Chain A
Amino acid sequence: MSAMEYAKELDLRNLPCPMPVVKISKGIKEVAVGQIVKAVTTDPGALTDFPAWAKTSGNQIVETQEASGEVRFFIKRLK
């Protein structure tokens, strides 16, 4: 598992619906285009929500890592 550079980290573990998507939508706007946000979540639904959110909002999931019950998304701001 390579170490990925990122500009901002968001802890989205154990949040109620729909806060993971609300917070990533805000968080991505706080980095420059081309920069990466790391988002850590425990939601099983996030594994479908985040790819669908990236597709809808026009951003890119560059890497997904799973470890110790957590999922880490590395998302590049594209616009």
Chain B
Amino acid sequence: MEASLRDELVRLFDTKLSRQMLLNLETCSRCGLCTPACHAYASMPLPKYAPAFRAEVVRRIYKRYFTALGRFAPVLGEAKPLTDAALEELREAAYSCTGCRRCMVYCPFGIDTQQIMSIAKLLLIGAEAAPEILSLLADVSISKGESIETFKEGFLQGIKRLETQVVARWKVEAGTTPIPTEVEGADMLYVALAGAHSIIPAAVVFNAARENWTLSFFEAVNFGAFVGDPGKTQLILDRIVREALRLGVKEVCICECGTAVRVAKQLSGTQPFRVVSLTEVHARYLREGRIRVKKLPGSHTYHDPCQIARNGGVYDEPRAILGRIVEDFREMSPDPKYNWCCGGGGGLVAMGEDTLDFRMRSSRVKADQIRESRADVVVTACENCHTQLENINAHYGLGKEVKFLSSLLADALVAP
């Protein structure tokens, strides 16, 4: 590795050294309590998949460049220089971690391995060694934000085509647009994904609840966060913030995409609107009696998306919804806080077939948990998790049905 690149990577490393990060890097007692907590290690007990081992890959570089012993006597202790081989180790550590933070729940010091992995991801970006597809996806989102006027017409045509499917499931009052766009002064801006499945059931429920809403031009997912680029993460989020401010909405509702929910909630800053997940909005409609539902037959279980539950605190709302719309609900984990990660987060699902083998091998414990729930239907509230659960279902021959919570709620609606 050239000295100039090494200097640049050390500079990037330095930008991540907040007080919280220093605690993460300097506190680990190597007690190993986090080791069996990681689904990757629990499914494949190799040392490299232990959370503290991953963290150590970053920590040793920290010791080399940011501690006195590492700087002045690098051969002593465990300091490790930044080399091409070290970059490879960083890549392996970062892209086998889904950022689920299950390890953090078990760590007596609350060490956040996911946050430590964000250093690894940033160094990979600096070395132009980040997964190409994730960088491209982030750039596509940014490009859309820069020239939305060019793309608007096509999007509106696509949305118009979906409206008959919305009306087929819920008859709207005369004069109501089934999927409204560009409504200034709407109460809510709904930010969906590219696929119709993230728009139609949501629109059906909004219409049933007589919500004053408008659909965003942008997709919710934030690939900047997947690739670990703070600048791109903010640029992608800012497109939505600007749109919400322009329309003057009171609430921004993020679709069933865990990373999008976490990023929008944590990084939108102080704004005249609040950020909520679709699941929270749906639970509110039921609480306030704005929609009526029936109970659907069959046994159902719920997979907590890590970014919405462990990393976002939304545990009760999906259970409140399921308690109202299914006859038979079975928990997967006695305490949802410890629900296993599906193994698809952190950009792994977005990397497609390239990561499929690892995703399947590392999700053995999740497959066991689903099987043991003995439920026929696995419900979740995240696009990534849904894709990964479908893959697990096929790979392990579980014979389950995987459904989105929003879609189930739309199926359970009854006329007032």
Contact = CB atoms under 8 A, between A and B. Distances in A.
A44 B151 contact: no
Nearest to A26: B352
Interface in A25-79: 25-26, 42-49, 51-53, 55-57, 64, 66, 69, 71
A15 B136 CA distance: 19
Contacts of A42: 196
B350 interface: yes
Given A48-B151, A51-B151, A56-B140, 14 more contacts: A14-B196, A16-B195, A17-B195, A18-B137, A18-B221, A19-B387, A21-B137, A43-B194, A43-B195, A44-B199, A45-B193, A49-B194, A57-B136, A71-B158
Q: Is the interface on chain A under 10, 10 to 19, 20 to 34, or 35 or more residues? A: 20 to 34
B154 interface: yes
A57 B303 CA distance: 36
Interface of B is mostly: helix
Given A16-B195, A18-B350, A52 B157 contact: no
The interface size bin for chain B is 35 or more
> Per DSSP, are chain A's interface residues mostly helix, strand or loop, or mixed?
helix
Contacts of B159: 44
Nearest to A15: B195
A43 B257 CA distance: 17
Interface of B: 133, 136-137, 139-141, 143-144, 147-148, 150-152, 154-155, 157-159, 161-162, 192-199, 217, 219, 221, 223, 257, 350-352, 383, 386-387
A48 B162 contact: no
B140 A45 contact: no
Contact of B158 (A21, A43, A53): A43
Nearest to A71: B158
Contacts of A25: 133, 136
Contacts of B351: 22
Contact of A44 (B144, B162, B257, B386): B162
Given A23-B352, A52-B140, A56-B139, A17 B158 contact: no
A25 B195 CA distance: 18
A53 B194 CA distance: 13
B133 A48 contact: no
